[in-house]
Amino acid sequence: MENPTENPSKATEYLQELNRIIETQQELLEKQRVRIEQLEVQVTDLCSENARLKDQHQRHLAACRPPPLQQLGAIKEHVLQEKPPIELNLAAWSYHTALLRPVSLGYVHTRQALFEKQAV
């Protein structure tokens, strides 16, 4: 094998090839930097959107959340302590108090019985 110092034109050729390789690598690195910046912007946008959606979801859950049991108990107690007005028939009064009962199979049967009473 020839020694590059013995043949200057061969040494020049090697250096030119190395320079082309270095330029290509630098171009690839620059493209990767640009792509990384684009992805970082996307990640930032997605993080913001995620935070917004989490907040929106929490507000939705808060709006759908039933009142605390203490409040339900107080409301039920208040309604049950009231005397039905004379002009209301018993079926109507039972219907309104049935709305405060917990949802259960018994509640469904109570509502069915209520509608049967109204039909009579």
- Quote the pTM value: 0.45
DSSP letter for 82, please.
Answer: S
Instruction: Give the Cα separation of 26 and 88 in Å (integer).
Output: 87
7 with 39, same domain: the answer is yes
Average confidence score pLDDT of the chain: 75
Q: Residues 100, 72: contact at Cβ < 8 Å? A: yes
Using DSSP's 3-state secondary structure scheme, residue 5 falls into coil
Query: Which residues constitute the domain of residue 18?
Result: 1-65
Domain count, the chain: 2
28 with 85, same domain: the answer is no
pLDDT digits (tens, 9 = 90+) for 41-100: 999 999 999 999 999 999 999 888 876 666 656 655 555 555 555 554 555 555 555 555
Using DSSP's 3-state secondary structure scheme, residue 22 falls into helix
26 with 85, same domain: the answer is no
39 with 8, same domain: the answer is yes
73 with 58, same domain: the answer is no
Instruction: Give the Cα separation of 92 and 114 in Å (integer).
Output: 9
